[in-house]
């Protein structure tokens, strides 16, 4: 403390006042760091809120269970309950079923219906009806406990009754005793509302948009008599270590025993790659902000060399000088982070909805009802911002501490220290770029492309290190040309670039980073969209699609009722009806969809985009049931590709088949495995349909009128069963898929624009400081006969050359980066690749815009430099 106080005093005198006196340039850096920190923090908080919602829902559903019995792709038989409860290791058993249903107000959105046995479930999960108010109490309800008990007893006694979550209660303005109509593929039913759940435990699942009912009611409503989604087990404390194995031995084929955490981890794993990618993207803004800090502190260290020499001559140690400048970095980090708080609060509100929608669409359903301010996230945000700022300040501080005290005797304005040879920096840069390729060949670690990210930062660093050399080359070769083309000011501007060294190269580095990211993301998003468009056009080519209501949300556990199937089979019309059976299964922790369909009919109207394997050879084998084809995502995430075997236990049916080909498939929620429907039905006896696609005969028949007519026909034959199904026009489905794609990348685009804004801020502040630093030089030129216009032209040409160098290297870096994004990072994060297609139009339009913006940034500097008259500037100090 004794040493800190004088240090802080000297820092205030020497550093803080300098920052305060140059308010606008200080603010530019603070805003840059603040924006970067705000983006980084708000993105992480938004994803964390979604994950928190998911985790809480899963935890609340899992309750205190030690193990869970599941039937992947289907439902577990209820008859297992009596077997399990008799096992000596089992203390308690509770069956549970869940399903998303709609109310008769379809616009209100789905709700989660939970069916449980209120008696068996008591020790597993926390749920408690709220007591009724006194007006609604029956005479024998003399206490609050009695009140609550009567409610769940009524749930058991009376069929088609519900206790609903608070949010739902409010949403539908419900009262006890009121009816709520729920819609399921099996039909519609009116439920009587018994009351509201107290806000704890199960009531917090899905943000409170849940309804609890008795299991028997649930089974009758959903047509799942005799089956449940899961059977939770609580083991005795004295249970042996191999209790789980003993219990597994009791289970029939196709039924598994899993720890509850497995369900949670599977979901979290799916979101993790998305979370990581967004975090890295959001970190880029902070990374670009780091250049701002470096640039300004570096300029301070250079322009105040003489003051540093004075301090050294008065007894300041080099260590003190080092810490003075490092503390400037700490100042930017701390104050920038504080500035990020209001900025981040604003951003997170808008990001939350987008992020949770994207996660719901792509991975797992989440319903965010609270923003969690995790102290560890706050600490991570602060420490990352501080670390980045300190890292940025380290090198200038190190340079500053090397100012020799003897420089105090120099009376003339000291120039910059001898710059490091730019060629050596460029060689280091090329070396780093050269390392990118071997790094990118390394596999990901648990689905995290660490080597890919490292390669990305090496790319940024490598190109930034080339910048000083390029600027020097430009400064040597270009000025004579400029003199011929544009006169002496252009020549002088070019000469300054040659001699300015690393002072300007750092800001150019920031522009390279932002520009590269812009180029790479434009290419990546365009490539991805074009590939998805091709997939959608060729594979999602049905004219009409039909499936049970909420099929996707319910993971295709519900099939089309037999009456619906019969009705559709009886349709008299010229079209192809292509049914499919789809199930959501797990391979380890990787979720995927197993789908069977009639490939002969399918391939008349659609194409599959093969990545590996010859369609002509593979498809006949597929139809004969000689193997499966898998999506690229499945192959990359599980390692099961051509030459390997696909194994799965689906109910009583065991599949063990070779992989014949790998296709592109961009459906959400994991990969897909295709098999022949005919073969699957023969093997399993499962002839149910998960859904149907309709194709009119011939493309020319698929007019809008014809498709609408088809839809009307389908609705007519379904009659009252139409309430339990979703019918989507093929055109609408394709548009929806592309809309989801565009919304997913909206966040990416916003993050990119912020990074560009930060880089532009950096260029503005650097150009301003560089110009102000040479005020004396410019006024000397004035004194020698130069005009203000000529000096402005000089500044303009300097800015133009800097920005041109940054944009050129940025463009080149961006192309390299786009390859990394498409073929390494996306593949290792999500399992997919896409066709590499460059959209030149946005690049051609945006590049001059970026140039123009940066040049505008030079304007303030060229005004400020003439604020004082030459006589004042040039007088001897």
- Least distance (Å) between residue 413 CB and other proteins: 11
**3-state class (DSSP) for residue 19:** helix
d(CA 776, CA 780) in angstroms, rounded, equals 6
| Residue 7 or 437 having the CB closest to other proteins | 7
Binding mask 20-59 toward other proteins (x if CB under 8 A, else -) reads -x--------------------------------------
- Least distance (Å) between residue 424 CB and other proteins: 19
Q: Of 18, 279, 601, 847, which one interacts with other proteins (CB under 8 A)?
A: 18
Best CA proximity match to 744, nearest among 364, 270, 354: 354
- Least distance (Å) between residue 423 CB and other proteins: 19
| Residue 499 or 614 having the CB closest to other proteins | 499
Q: Is residue 359 a contact partner of residue 271, using CB atoms and an 8 Å limit?
A: yes
| Residue 2 or 241 having the CB closest to other proteins | 2
d(CA 802, CA 171) in angstroms, rounded, equals 58
Best CA proximity match to 660, nearest among 649, 676, 638: 676
> Which one of 58-66, 343-351, 401-409, 434-442 is the stretch in contact with other proteins (CB under 8 A)?
401-409
Q: Is residue 152 a contact partner of residue 129, using CB atoms and an 8 Å limit?
A: yes
> Which one of 115-123, 233-241, 308-316, 435-443 is the stretch in contact with other proteins (CB under 8 A)?
308-316
- Least distance (Å) between residue 479 CB and other proteins: 25
Q: How many residues of this chain bind other proteins (CB under 8 A)?
A: 30
- Least distance (Å) between residue 282 CB and other proteins: 37
d(CA 598, CA 616) in angstroms, rounded, equals 16
| Residue 308 or 865 having the CB closest to other proteins | 308
Binding mask 288-307 toward other proteins (x if CB under 8 A, else -) reads ------------------xx
455 CB contacts (<8 Å, ≥6 apart)? Answer: 435, 436, 439, 440, 820, 824
Q: Of 256, 313, 684, 790, which one interacts with other proteins (CB under 8 A)?
A: 313
Angle between helices 318-362 and 23-62 (to 10 degrees): 40
Question: C-alpha distances in angstroms, 433 versus 404, 451, 516, 524, 822?
Answer: 36, 14, 14, 20, 18
> Which one of 16-24, 77-85, 434-442, 783-791 is the stretch in contact with other proteins (CB under 8 A)?
16-24
Question: Is 869 one of the binding residues for other proteins (CB under 8 A)?
Answer: no
As a residue count, the chain comes to: 877
For 759, how many CA atoms within 13 A lie in the half-sphere containing its CB?
A: 31
> Which one of 7-15, 207-215, 226-234, 603-611 is the stretch in contact with other proteins (CB under 8 A)?
7-15
Best CA proximity match to 95, nearest among 113, 80, 108: 80
Q: What is the DSSP letter of 591?
A: E
Q: Of 134, 238, 411, 572, which one interacts with other proteins (CB under 8 A)?
A: 411
d(CA 763, CA 799) in angstroms, rounded, equals 9
- Least distance (Å) between residue 481 CB and other proteins: 30
> Which one of 402-410, 574-582, 601-609, 674-682 is the stretch in contact with other proteins (CB under 8 A)?
402-410
| Residue 300 or 693 having the CB closest to other proteins | 300
Q: Is residue 623 a contact partner of residue 676, using CB atoms and an 8 Å limit?
A: yes
Beta strands 187-196 and 161-164, pairing class: parallel
Q: Of 109, 404, 434, 487, which one interacts with other proteins (CB under 8 A)?
A: 404
> Which one of 6-14, 92-100, 477-485, 789-797 is the stretch in contact with other proteins (CB under 8 A)?
6-14
* Alpha helices for 487-630 (secondary structure H): 488-500, 502-539, 562-569, 599-605, 615-623
The radius of gyration computed from the CA coordinates of the chain, to the nearest angstrom, equals 34
d(CA 276, CA 580) in angstroms, rounded, equals 35
Site for other proteins in 315-344 (CB under 8 A): 315-318, 320
Question: Is 644 one of the binding residues for other proteins (CB under 8 A)?
Answer: no
Site for other proteins in 196-225 (CB under 8 A): none
- Least distance (Å) between residue 389 CB and other proteins: 22
Q: Is residue 302 a contact partner of residue 416, using CB atoms and an 8 Å limit?
A: yes
| Residue 135 or 409 having the CB closest to other proteins | 409
Q: Of 47, 88, 311, 576, which one interacts with other proteins (CB under 8 A)?
A: 311
Q: Of 35, 239, 408, 718, which one interacts with other proteins (CB under 8 A)?
A: 408
d(CA 198, CA 145) in angstroms, rounded, equals 13
- Least distance (Å) between residue 48 CB and other proteins: 43
In the complex, the residues that contact other proteins under the rule CB under 8 A are 3, 5-6, 9-10, 13-14, 17-18, 21, 306-307, 310-318, 320, 404-406, 408-409, 411, 876-877
């Amino acid at each position: 403390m004794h040493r800190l106080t004088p240090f802080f005093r000297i820092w205030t005198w020497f550093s803080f006042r300098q920052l305060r006196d140059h308010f606008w340039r200080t603010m530019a850096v603070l805003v840059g760091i603040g924006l970067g920190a705000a983006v980084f923090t708000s993105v992480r908080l938004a994803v964390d809120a979604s994950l928190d919602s998911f985790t809480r829902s899963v935890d609340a559903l899992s309750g205190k269970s030690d193990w869970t019995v599941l039937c992947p792709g289907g439902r577990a038989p209820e008859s297992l309950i009596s077997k399990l409860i008799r096992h000596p290791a089992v203390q308690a058993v509770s069956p549970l079923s869940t399903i998303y249903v709609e109310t008769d107000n379809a616009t209100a959105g789905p709700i989660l219906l939970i069916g449980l046995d209120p008696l068996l479930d008591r020790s597993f999960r926390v749920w408690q009806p709220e007591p009724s108010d006194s007006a609604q109490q029956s005479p024998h309800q003399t206490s609050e406990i009695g009140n609550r008990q009567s409610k769940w007893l009524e749930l058991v006694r009376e069929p088609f009754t519900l206790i609903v979550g608070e949010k739902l209660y409010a949403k539908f303005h419900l009262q006890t005793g009121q009816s709520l109509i729920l819609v399921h593929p099996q039909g519609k039913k009116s439920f009587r509302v018994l009351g509201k759940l107290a806000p704890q435990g199960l009531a917090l699942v899905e943000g409170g948009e849940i309804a609890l009912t008795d299991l028997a009611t649930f089974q009758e409503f959903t047509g799942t008599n005799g089956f449940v989604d899961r059977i939770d087990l609580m083991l005795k404390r004295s249970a042996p270590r191999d209790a789980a194995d003993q219990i597994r031995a009791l289970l029939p084929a196709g039924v598994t025993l899993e720890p509850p955490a497995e369900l949670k981890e599977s979901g979290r794993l799916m979101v993790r790659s998305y979370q990581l990618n967004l975090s890295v993207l959001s970190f880029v803004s902070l990374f670009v902000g780091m250049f701002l800090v470096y640039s300004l502190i570096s300029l301070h260290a250079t322009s105040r060399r003489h003051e540093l020499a004075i301090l050294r001559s008065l007894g300041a140690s080099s260590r003190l000088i080092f810490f003075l400048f490092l503390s400037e970095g700490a100042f930017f980090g701390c104050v920038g982070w504080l500035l990020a708080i209001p900025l981040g609060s604003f951003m997170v509100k808008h990001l939350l909805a987008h992020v949770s929608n994207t996660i719901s669409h792509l991975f797992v359903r989440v319903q965010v009802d609270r923003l969690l301010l995790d102290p560890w996230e706050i600490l991570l945000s602060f420490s990352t911002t501080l670390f980045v700022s300190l890292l940025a300040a380290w090198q200038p501080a190190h340079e500053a501490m090397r100012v020799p005290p003897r420089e105090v005797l120099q009376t003339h304005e000291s120039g910059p220290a001898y710059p490091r040879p730019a060629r050596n920096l460029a060689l280091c840069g090329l070396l780093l770029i050269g390392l990118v390729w071997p790094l990118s060949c390394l596999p990901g670690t648990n689905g995290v492309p660490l080597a890919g990210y490292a390669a990305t930062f090496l790319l940024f660093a490598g190109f930034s290190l080339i910048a000083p050399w390029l600027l020097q080359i430009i400064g040597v070769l270009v000025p004579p040309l400029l003199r011929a083309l544009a006169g002496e000011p252009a020549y002088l501007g070019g000469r300054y670039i040659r001699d300015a060294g690393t002072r300007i190269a750092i800001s150019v580095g920031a522009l390279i980073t932002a520009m590269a990211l812009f180029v790479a993301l434009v290419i990546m998003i365009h490539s991805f969209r074009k590939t998805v468009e091709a997939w959608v056009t060729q594979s999602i080519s049905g004219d009409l699609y039909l499936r049970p209501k909420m099929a996707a949300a319910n993971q295709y556990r519900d099939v089309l009722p037999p009456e619906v199937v019969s009705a559709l089979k009886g349709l008299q019309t010229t079209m192809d009806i292509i049914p499919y059976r789809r199930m959501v299964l797990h391979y380890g922790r990787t979720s995927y969809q197993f789908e069977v369909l009639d490939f002969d009919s399918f391939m008349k109207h659609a194409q599959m985009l093969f990545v590996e394997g010859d369609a002509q050879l593979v498809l006949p084998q597929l139809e004969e049931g000689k193997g499966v084809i898998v999506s690229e995502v499945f192959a990359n995430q599980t390692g099961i590709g051509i030459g390997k075997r696909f194994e799965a236990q689906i109910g009583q049916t065991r599949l063990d088949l070779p992989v014949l080909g790998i296709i592109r498939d961009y459906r959400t929620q994991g990969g897909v495995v295709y098999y022949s429907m005919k073969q699957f039905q023969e093997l399993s006896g499962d002839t149910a349909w998960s859904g149907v696609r309709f194709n009119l005969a011939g493309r020319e028949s698929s007019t809008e009128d014809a498709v609408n007519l088809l839809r009307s026909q389908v609705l007519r034959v379904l009659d009252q069963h139409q309430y339990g199904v979703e019918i989507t026009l093929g055109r609408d489905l394709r548009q929806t898929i592309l809309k989801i794609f565009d919304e997913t990348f909206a966040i990416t685009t916003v993050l990119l624009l912020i990074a560009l804004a930060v880089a532009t801020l950096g260029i503005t502040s650097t150009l301003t400081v560089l110009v102000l630093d040479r005020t004396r030089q410019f006024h000397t030129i004035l004194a020698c006969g130069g005009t203000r216009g000529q000096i402005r032209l000089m500044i303009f040409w300097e800015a133009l050359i800097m920005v041109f160098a940054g944009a050129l290297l940025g463009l080149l870096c961006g192309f390299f980066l786009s390859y990394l994004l498409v073929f390494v990072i996306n593949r290792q994060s999500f399992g997919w690749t896409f066709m590499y297609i460059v959209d030149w139009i946005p690049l051609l339009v945006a590049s001059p815009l970026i140039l123009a913006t940066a040049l505008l940034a030079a304007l303030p500097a060229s005004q400020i430099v003439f604020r004082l008259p030459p006589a004042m500037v040039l007088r001897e100090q």
